[in-house]
Structure 1
Amino acid sequence: MKIAILGAGALGCAIGATLTEGGHETWLLDRFEAHVDAMRRDGLRVDDASGSRRVKVRATTRGAEVGVADLVIVLVKSFHTDSAMRGAMELVGPDTLVLSLQNGLGHEDILADIVGRERVLAGKTYVGGVLRGPGHIESGVIGKATHIGELDGRLTSRVNAIADAFNTAGLTTKVSDNIMGTMWDKLLVNVATGAITGITGLTYGQLYEESVLKATSLAAVAEAMAAAQAAGVRLSMTDPEQAWVLAAEGLPAAFKTSMLQSLEKGSVTEIDFINGSVVRWGQRHGVPTPVNTTLVACIKGVERAMADRQQRQGAVS
């Protein structure tokens, strides 16, 4: 299968390396030129539970170099979804499928507006990754499941074929007949820890030592569950504690959420697609979401302070 990964950050590279080693023609597309140059020159260095190795990957900054793919996996930051997909239409042919594995909710609608809803698939992955430097990642694929499905819940041959290809390559993948429920399940995990660690700067080990922060997390997750249930979404979780436990499962104490990693790098976050999604769905279905509203406001404040610092530093230099 010819696969293009749109957004070859830590997660994209972790998945891309696995699919490459599994025998698929896998292309890693990213706008970070130093990262792409390092992978083209030296291969991708992958550190994981089995040690460290270099994987010879195909990497580029240009969709035109790739051409039409069988499958485009979208893993750019949420706020870049529209521009990234519109800028990579060379990847899309008559039979190309587009699969979002991004955090949060709403990407499938953005992609459908660009390429047509009939070719969009959705999914969630619990694979982890950290970008250690250009061409170098820490990967967490083993034991981490990926869930994919049709937007309408049908069990089709095309989604089963993708799952088979992923599983054969070593990327544990399950087909869901309730992909919206699956996406909400992952959203609950992100809601449990992302914004709180972004505001406090805490690693997982530090976060899970603070009972007052756990109480805030459970309250935020409870609001999200109420919003989902009001919308008729079928969740696999029945208690906010399940999301709190699942969020840290198999991760080291030093692990940092993607939201915290973004802020530490000076980048804006995906808060609008995570806790912000809970607020929007709550407004739509009459469910109060004061905790998530507060967390969104706090992250927006952190982003504003960060932008002001960057502006001052730019003026000085």
Structure 2
Amino acid sequence: MKICVLGAGALGCSIGGVLTEAGQDVWLINRSRAHVDAMNASGLRMLDAGVERRVTVKAALDSSDVGIVDLIIVLVKSYDTAAAIASAAPMIGEHTQVLSLQNGLGHEDILVAAVGAHRVLAGKTYVGGVMTGPGRITIGTRGKQTIIGELDGSVSERVSAIAAVFNRAGLETTVSPNILGTIWDKLLINVATGALAGITGLGYGDLYSVDEIADCATAAVAEAMAVARANSVELSLTEPRQAWDMAGAGLPAGFKTSMLQSLEKGSKTEIDFINGAVVRWGERCGVATPVNSTLVACIKGIERRLAV
């Protein structure tokens, strides 16, 4: 299968790297010239459970030299979705499928508007990754589930084929007939740790050592679960603490959330698509979300400070 990872940062390279190792024809697209040049010159260096391995990959700054692909995996930042899929037009042929594995809510609507509902698949992944330098990442794929599905809840041949490709690469992947619930399940994970890690600046080892942080995280998740239920979303998680425990399971003490990584680079975060989405959905259904509103305000303040 010819695959393009659109937004090959830490997570995209983790997924694209193991798919390449499994024999798939993968292109990694990233806007950083230093990162792309390093991968093309020396391969992608992946640190996995303390062991580094080097994978020969194909990387590019844009889609101009890639050609038509079978699958585009969208992993750009939420606020870049519309621009990224527009730039991917040269890769889209008659049978090209587009799979969003992004964090948060709302990306599928943007993709449907751009390429049509018949192409778009949705999914969430619990795979992790940390960029340690141009062409270098620490990956967290072992025991981390990826769930994908059709927007209409059907279990189609095409989505089953993608799941099979992922599984052969060691990416534990299942097909869900309740993809909206899956999206919300992953949102709960991001709600648990993303903003709190960004605000405190802590990696997982320290983050999970503070009881008060755990209490705040579970309170934020409890609000999100109440909002989901008020909107008739079927969740697989039943207790807020589950999201907190799942977020840190199997990841090293030094692991940093994507929100913290963004702030450390002085970049905009995806807060509007994570805790901010909980607040917006809560407003629509009349469920109060004071904890998530506070976390959003804190992250917005940090973004403002970094922008000065």
TM range (shorter): over 0.9
Check if 1:221 corresponds to 2:225: no
Letter in 2 for 1:193: T
Q: Give the match's secondary structure for 2:213.
A: helix
Q: Report % sequence identity.
A: 64
The separation in 1 between residues aligned to 2:208 and 2:48, in whole angstroms, is: 24
Q: CA deviation at 1:170?
A: 1.8
> Match of 1:83, as an amino acid?
A
1:16 Cα deviation (Å)?
Answer: 0.5
Distance 2:6 2:184 in 1: 23
Q: Measure the CA separation in 2 of the matches of 1:18 and 1:255.
A: 19
- What is residue 209 of structure 2 aligned with on the other side? 209
The alignment status of 1:31 with 2:31, answered yes or no, reads: yes
**What is the CA distance between 1:169 and its match in structure 2?**
2.0
SS of 2:12's partner is helix
Shift of 1:197: 1.2
1:45 corresponding residue in structure 2: 45
Whether 1:142 and 2:103 are equivalent positions in the alignment is no
Task: Show the counterpart of 1:194.
Answer: 194
Counterpart for residue 245 of structure 2: 245
- SS at structure 1 position matched to 2:137: strand
Alpha-carbon distance in structure 1 between the residues aligned to 2:51 and 2:294:
41
Matched, 1:127 2:127: yes
Residue number in structure 2 paired with 1:11: 11
Flag as ranges the 4+ runs of structure 1 deviating above 2 A.
Answer: none
Matched, 1:287 2:293: no
User: What is the CA deviation profile of residues 260-282 of structure 1, one whole-angstrom value per residue up to 9, with x for unaligned ones?
Assistant: 11101111110001001101111
CA distance in 2, matches of 1:259, 1:62: 24
Deviation at 1:95, TM superposition (A): 0.8
Between the aligned partners of 1:172 and 1:212, the Cα distance in structure 2 is 33
Q: Secondary structure at the match of 2:64?
A: helix
Segment of structure 1 superposing worse, 213-222 or 70-79: 213-222
Question: Aligned equivalents of 1:16 and 1:203: distance in 2?
Answer: 24
Q: Which residue of 1 aligns with 2:302?
A: 302
The aligned amino acid for 2:122 is A
TM-score (ref. length: structure 2): 0.98
Structure 2: segments with no counterpart, 5+ residues = none
User: Deviations 1:73-103 (Å, cap 9, x if unpaired)?
Assistant: 0001111111111111111111110000011
SS of the equivalent of 2:154 reads coil
Give 2:288's aligned amino acid. Answer: P
Counterpart in the other structure of 1:22: 22
**Aligned residue pairs, count:** 308
Q: Distance in 1 between matches of 2:27 and 2:76?
A: 14
Post-superposition Cα deviations, 1:157-207, rounded to whole Å, max 9, x if no partner, equal 110011111111222111011111111111101100111111111222222
Gaps of 5+ in 1: 309-317
Distance of 2:108 and 2:172 partners within structure 1: 22
Which residue matches 1:266?
266
SS at 2:102's partner residue?
A: coil
Offset of residue 214 of structure 1: 1.6
CA distance in 1, matches of 2:295, 2:306: 17
Q: CA deviation at 1:50?
A: 6.4
Which stretch of structure 1 is more off in the superposition, 207-216 or 192-201? Answer: 207-216
Match of 1:266, SS state, is coil
Structure-2 separation of matches of 1:168 and 1:104: 27
TM-score between both structures, scaled by the size of structure 1: 0.95
> CA 1:273–1:48 in 2, change beyond 3 Å: closer, same or farther?
same
* Paired letter, 2:155: L
Q: Distance in 2 between matches of 1:263 and 1:153?
A: 36
**Map of 1:22-101 to 2, 5 A cutoff?**
22-49=22-49, 51-101=51-101
Name the aligned partner's letter for residue 295 of structure 2: L
Residue 180 of structure 2 aligns with which residue? 180
CA–CA distance in structure 1, aligned partners of residues 288 and 169 of structure 2: 44
- Whether 1:158 aligns to 2:152 is no
Q: Which residue of 2 aligns with 1:314?
A: none
* RMSD of Structure 2 on Structure 1 (CA): 1.0
CA shift, 1:253, in A, is: 1.9
CA–CA separation in structure 1 for the residues paired with 2:36 and 2:144:
26
Take 2:30 and 2:111, find their aligned partners in 1: how far apart are those partners?
18
